[in-house]
Amino acid sequence: MTEIAKPFTLVFCILSLYGVFYTAFLDPTIVLHERIYTSLQLLLLAAGICLVSGLIFREGESGLPTPPLISTLPVQMFCWSSASMLVLFLVSWFLQSHCIFYRDIRFYAGM
Protein backbone atom coordinates (compact mmCIF):
# COMPACT_ATOMS: atom_id res chain seq x y z
CA MET A 1 0.00 0.00 0.00
CA THR A 2 2.82 2.40 0.78
CA GLU A 3 4.40 1.71 -2.61
CA ILE A 4 1.28 3.13 -4.26
CA ALA A 5 1.23 6.19 -1.98
CA LYS A 6 4.90 7.11 -2.44
CA PRO A 7 4.60 8.70 -5.92
CA PHE A 8 1.51 10.69 -4.92
CA THR A 9 3.11 12.06 -1.77
CA LEU A 10 6.25 12.93 -3.71
CA VAL A 11 4.16 14.88 -6.23
CA PHE A 12 2.37 16.73 -3.40
CA CYS A 13 5.75 17.55 -1.87
CA ILE A 14 7.06 18.95 -5.16
CA LEU A 15 3.88 20.96 -5.76
CA SER A 16 3.98 22.48 -2.28
CA LEU A 17 7.61 23.50 -2.77
CA TYR A 18 6.70 24.99 -6.16
CA GLY A 19 4.01 27.05 -4.43
CA VAL A 20 6.61 28.47 -2.06
CA PHE A 21 8.95 29.25 -4.96
CA TYR A 22 6.19 30.95 -6.97
CA THR A 23 5.12 33.11 -4.03
CA ALA A 24 8.67 34.08 -3.11
CA PHE A 25 9.94 34.91 -6.60
CA LEU A 26 7.35 34.97 -9.38
CA ASP A 27 4.28 36.73 -7.96
CA PRO A 28 4.69 40.44 -8.80
CA THR A 29 1.46 41.65 -7.19
CA ILE A 30 2.49 41.15 -3.57
CA VAL A 31 4.45 43.74 -1.56
CA LEU A 32 7.73 42.53 -0.06
CA HIS A 33 6.52 42.12 3.55
CA GLU A 34 3.35 40.31 2.47
CA ARG A 35 5.46 38.11 0.18
CA ILE A 36 7.68 37.16 3.13
CA TYR A 37 4.73 36.29 5.40
CA THR A 38 2.92 34.35 2.69
CA SER A 39 6.10 32.49 1.77
CA LEU A 40 6.70 31.54 5.40
CA GLN A 41 3.14 30.26 5.75
CA LEU A 42 3.49 28.18 2.61
CA LEU A 43 6.90 26.98 3.77
CA LEU A 44 5.35 25.67 7.00
CA LEU A 45 2.64 23.94 4.98
CA ALA A 46 5.28 22.43 2.69
CA ALA A 47 7.26 21.28 5.73
CA GLY A 48 4.23 19.44 7.06
CA ILE A 49 3.53 17.83 3.70
CA CYS A 50 7.16 16.79 3.30
CA LEU A 51 7.31 15.35 6.83
CA VAL A 52 4.19 13.27 6.25
CA SER A 53 5.59 12.19 2.91
CA GLY A 54 8.88 11.32 4.61
CA LEU A 55 7.01 9.16 7.11
CA ILE A 56 5.36 7.30 4.25
CA PHE A 57 8.74 6.86 2.52
CA ARG A 58 10.20 5.64 5.79
CA GLU A 59 7.81 2.71 5.95
CA GLY A 60 9.75 -0.09 4.36
CA GLU A 61 9.55 -3.79 4.04
CA SER A 62 9.24 -5.78 7.22
CA GLY A 63 12.53 -7.06 8.54
CA LEU A 64 14.58 -4.08 7.37
CA PRO A 65 15.50 -1.37 9.86
CA THR A 66 13.71 1.93 9.29
CA PRO A 67 16.00 4.72 8.08
CA PRO A 68 16.10 8.08 9.87
CA LEU A 69 13.48 10.59 8.77
CA ILE A 70 16.08 13.07 7.53
CA SER A 71 17.44 10.55 5.05
CA THR A 72 14.16 10.12 3.18
CA LEU A 73 13.83 11.75 -0.24
CA PRO A 74 10.97 14.21 0.51
CA VAL A 75 12.65 15.59 3.64
CA GLN A 76 15.96 15.97 1.82
CA MET A 77 14.19 17.71 -1.05
CA PHE A 78 12.57 20.09 1.43
CA CYS A 79 15.84 20.88 3.20
CA TRP A 80 17.79 21.50 -0.01
CA SER A 81 15.06 23.49 -1.73
CA SER A 82 14.26 25.67 1.29
CA ALA A 83 17.96 26.41 1.83
CA SER A 84 18.39 27.25 -1.86
CA MET A 85 15.30 29.47 -1.89
CA LEU A 86 16.50 31.27 1.23
CA VAL A 87 19.88 32.06 -0.37
CA LEU A 88 18.23 33.13 -3.64
CA PHE A 89 15.72 35.32 -1.79
CA LEU A 90 18.43 37.07 0.20
CA VAL A 91 20.52 37.64 -2.93
CA SER A 92 17.53 39.02 -4.84
CA TRP A 93 16.61 41.28 -1.90
CA PHE A 94 20.18 42.63 -1.80
CA LEU A 95 20.31 43.18 -5.55
CA GLN A 96 16.92 44.88 -5.55
CA SER A 97 17.95 47.39 -2.91
CA HIS A 98 21.61 48.01 -3.82
CA CYS A 99 21.99 47.58 -7.58
CA ILE A 100 20.54 49.48 -10.52
CA PHE A 101 20.26 47.43 -13.70
CA TYR A 102 18.84 50.16 -15.92
CA ARG A 103 19.83 53.68 -16.90
CA ASP A 104 18.10 56.24 -14.80
CA ILE A 105 17.37 59.13 -17.13
CA ARG A 106 16.88 61.56 -14.25
CA PHE A 107 20.41 60.83 -13.00
CA TYR A 108 22.05 61.61 -16.34
CA ALA A 109 19.90 64.68 -17.10
CA GLY A 110 22.05 67.01 -15.02
CA MET A 111 25.26 66.19 -16.87
**pLDDT tens, position by position, 17-31:** 999 999 988 887 778
53-79 core/surface letters (b: 16 or more CB in 10 A; e: else): bbbbbbeeeeeeeeeeeeebebbebbe
* Lowest-pLDDT choice from 9-18, 39-48, 61-70: 61-70
Average model confidence (pLDDT) across the chain: 86
44 — pLDDT class (breaks 50, 70, 90)? very high
pTM for the whole structure: 0.81
- Residue 30 is predicted with a pLDDT of 75
- Residue 61 is predicted with a pLDDT of 62
